[in-house]
Amino acid sequence: WHTKSQKYKQKLKAKLRDVQNRGAGESSQFAIMCFIAKLQQSLG
């Protein structure tokens, strides 16, 4: 389970990087903030 969680986090980090690379506008910055907030909630 731990390794699965680790892989999951890596995948999310990659996704986050992808999102950050795609757009550096204010709206995407806001979307990233929301995404991070959801992430932190789901990771507890």
Q: Cα separation of 2 and 23, whole Å?
A: 32
Q: Would you tell me the crossing angle of helices 2-22 and 26-43 to the nearest 10 degrees?
A: 170
Q: What pLDDT sits at residue 16? A: 80
- pLDDT tens per residue across span 14-43: 888 877 776 555 667 788 788 889 988 887
Cβ-Cβ contacts under 8 Å for 6 (sequence gap 6 or more): none
Q: Domain limits of the chain?
A: 2-43
Is residue 1 very low, low, confident or very high in pLDDT (cuts 50, 70, 90)?
Answer: low
Q: What pLDDT sits at residue 2? A: 66
Check: CB of residue 27 under 8 Å from CB of residue 21.
no
Q: What pLDDT sits at residue 8? A: 85
Q: What pLDDT sits at residue 34? A: 87
Q: What pLDDT sits at residue 26? A: 63
